[in-house]
Amino acid sequence: MKIALINENSQAAKNAVIFNALKKVADAHGFEVVNYGMYSADDKAQLTYVQNGILAATLLNSKAADFVVTGCGTGEGAMLALNSFPGVICGHVASPLDAYTFAQINDGNAISLPFALGFGWGGDLNLEYIFEKLFSESFGGGYPKERAVPEQRNKKILDGVREAAFKPFTEILESLDKDLVKGAFAGEKFSELFFKDCKDDKIAETVKKFLN
């Protein structure tokens, strides 16, 4: 699994702490973590939580990433932004229990964390515990286990509803404010990381339009 980490501007100073906690857990499972930044509060490219949504949706729809870890101060804004796009099911995760039940019941592909709430002494440990429970089992296994079949059925129904509700992703990108989208792709390592892993030529060509 390839996991992308994305930070918006208000919590960018925590990027290294989040990356280290995530990588420690990912390494134990043989997963790869790709850090898209922001890397510090002083980065030239300043991502908003709305741009987190654009970037995350681009990575997931193009298969450049299999899973996205992101967040903001409360985690709510980034969660809403990510869920505004097709191909993304993002859960708001504040605890290890949230992480486990989201993975097992909702079988999503992104989480949004509240990096400004309760992030004091031991914040790095809480992140590590969250990531441990998130990736402790294969997604979609159900909880409790006797509820697995109806939960899996409901997830398929949700997928169908979302497919009917959204336009194709490239059409959405091209209909958005160009400066907003361009800013989402302005990270110092974006092009290097994205085009190496992107598996959708149409999305890659659409992204290139915003980089010229």
2-21 burial: b if 16+ Cβ within 10 Å, else e: ebbbbbbbbbbebbeebbeb
| Residue 68 within any structural domain of the chain | yes
Apex CA 98: angle with CA 93 and CA 102, to 5°?
90
| Residue 128 within any structural domain of the chain | yes
Q: Is the pLDDT of residue 212 over 90?
A: no
Digit-coded pLDDT (tens) for 7-51: 999 999 999 999 999 999 999 999 999 999 999 999 999 999 999
177 vs 212 pLDDT, higher one: 177
The structure's pTM equals 0.96
Q: What is the CATH number of the domain that holds 67?
A: 3.40.1400.10
> pLDDT > 90: what percent of the chain?
98
Domain of residue 12: give its range: 2-203
Domains in the chain, number: 1
Q: What is the band of 103 on the pLDDT scale with cuts at 50, 70, 90?
A: very high
Q: What is the pLDDT of residue 165?
A: 95
| Residue 192 within any structural domain of the chain | yes
